[in-house]
Chains A and B, each alone.
Chain A
Amino acid sequence: MSATTEGGPAGRRPRPLSPHLSVYRPIVTMVMSIMHRITGMMNIAGLVLVVGYITALAMGQDTYALASAVYGSWLGRIVLVTFTWSLLHHMLGGVRHAIWDLGHAFGDVRYQLSWLTAIGSVSLTIILWVVIVVLEAV
Chain B
Amino acid sequence: MVRKPVELDGTGHRGQRTALKTIRGLGSARSGTEHFIQQRVTAIANFVLILVLVVVAIALSGKSYPDAVAFVGSPFVAVPLALAIISVCIHMKLGVQVVIEDYVHAEIAKMLLLLGNAFFALAVMAVSLFSIGRIMLQGLVLGSG
Contacts and interface: CB of A to CB of B under 8 A. Distances in A.
A58 B82 CA distance: 14
11 contacts: A44-B92, A47-B88, A47-B89, A47-B124, A58-B130, A58-B131, A61-B65, A87-B50, A94-B43, A94-B46, A128-B54
Contacts, number: 65
Interface of A: 1, 37, 40-41, 43-44, 47-48, 51, 54-55, 57-58, 61, 64-65, 72, 87, 91, 94-95, 98, 101, 128, 131-132, 135-136
Interface of B: 40, 43-44, 46-47, 50, 54, 58, 61-62, 65, 68-69, 72, 81, 85, 88-89, 92, 95-96, 99, 105-106, 124, 127-128, 130-132, 134-135, 138
A37 B92 CA distance: 11
Given A64-B68, A98-B40, A132-B61, A57 B131 contact: yes
Contact of A54 (B61, B65, B99, B135): B135
B interface secondary structure, majority: helix
A94 B127 CA distance: 27
B92 A47 contact: yes
